[in-house]
Amino acid sequence: MKVLLISHTCQSVTEGQPKAAAIAARLDGELLVLAPDRWKHYGTWRHAEPPRSAGYVYIAAKPALPWTGPAQSYLHFYPRLAQLLQHFRPDVIDIWEEPWSLVSAQACRLRNRLLPRARIISETEQNLAKAYPPPFNWLRAYTLRHADFAVARSREALDVLHTQGYSGPASVIPNAVDPALFRPMDRAACREALGMEGFVIGYAGRIVEQKGLMELVNALPLLPACVHLSFAGSGEYTGALQARLRELRLEARARFLPSQPLQALSRWMNAIDLLALPSRTTPRWKEQFGRVIIEAHACGTPVAGSDSGAIPGVVGQGGVIFPERNAPALAAAVVPLCLDPDRCRTLGAEGRRQILAHYTWSKVGERMHRIYQHVQRRPSFDA
């Protein structure tokens, strides 16, 4: 079997390439990964990183329109994709891009014209049923009409696909984490190295308003005096949080760290007592997965999350859920954990168990391989 995986996420050795490596390890055949040579990632241009795995062929190609005004990345496409398809002749084309992106429709159209027997898989993370203007509504309709299988990152994202008219076979396959990198460590040593004391609630990621971090700050006066906050990340909302902490006279109970490389982030996850993800749903966005949840769980750290988007399903039995935009509810959910270290350890252990059962790259690679086999032979299917 020959598989072409088209994915801007596969620019990164840590974000997308582990999935490619896990697929290649299962595949009885060839995997070719196509990624853009440059991409704007949260406002900063970055270049494709050479893969660490030799299990697949990797092409970092020059895309057309990698960033175009309000459309941002969704109008990008590959001018030489037709030549690549004719040369490689894949059996399966896995499009790890949203179905309303131009590259998704481009791949479908070229498949129809050049390789009509090849199968198309369309992947999506969008969990809001948005009404897109032309041409994006047309691109989405075209892609979903020609997809042979759909992969959604969450149950909500799958429901959105159905509201958009997709009625073909589909499965929910989550993001994943490396459980050897994010793993339980000596917590006392990690805390000492980072200078942490008391009960530490941590947040890692972009420091932006929609992540609900003001609720976390506003909950601090309602929590025991031993509770401290640790923020690892950067963003334009940092100043607002620091100003509110000064207003509450609690700046001594919060610490702001820059974004951490993965090895350091794993140590930080082991040093905190609880990860918080208090995201807020907006008209244009709600939490699509929450990768930091599975990173914390892989370290045996419990999670307190809001009920925004996919958070409750990813947290599962490895933490507690509270209503979004509600600081008192956040505090009420967290106080029992502050007072019961054994309960924290139990939730953290359950989170780690969930990771090993469902959220490793090996599990994701296995399930994607089963889908590839399915679309080639089309039997009854349950991924």
154-192 pLDDT tens trace: 999 999 999 999 999 999 999 999 999 999 999 999 999
pLDDT at 277: 98
Q: What is the mean pLDDT of residues 94-102?
A: 98
pLDDT digits (tens, 9 = 90+) for 278-314: 999 999 999 999 999 999 999 999 999 999 999 999 9
pLDDT digits (tens, 9 = 90+) for 204-262: 999 999 999 999 999 999 999 999 999 999 999 999 999 999 999 999 999 999 999 99
Ranges 5-14, 39-48, 94-103: which has the least confidence: 39-48
The rounded distance, in Å, linking the Cα atoms of 149 and 147 is 6
Q: What is the mean pLDDT of residues 62-86?
A: 95
The rounded distance, in Å, linking the Cα atoms of 178 and 209 is 29
Q: Which domains does the chain have, with CATH numbers?
A: 2-176+360-377 (3.40.50.2000), 187-358 (3.40.50.2000)
pLDDT digits (tens, 9 = 90+) for 352-378: 999 999 999 999 999 999 999 999 987
| CA 73 centroid distance within chain | 17
The rounded distance, in Å, linking the Cα atoms of 261 and 181 is 12
Q: What is the mean pLDDT of residues 115-125?
A: 97
**pLDDT of 380 over the 80 cut:** no
Q: Are strands 44-47 and 119-124 parallel, antiparallel or unpaired?
A: unpaired
Q: Are 244 and 217 in contact (CB under 8 A)?
A: yes
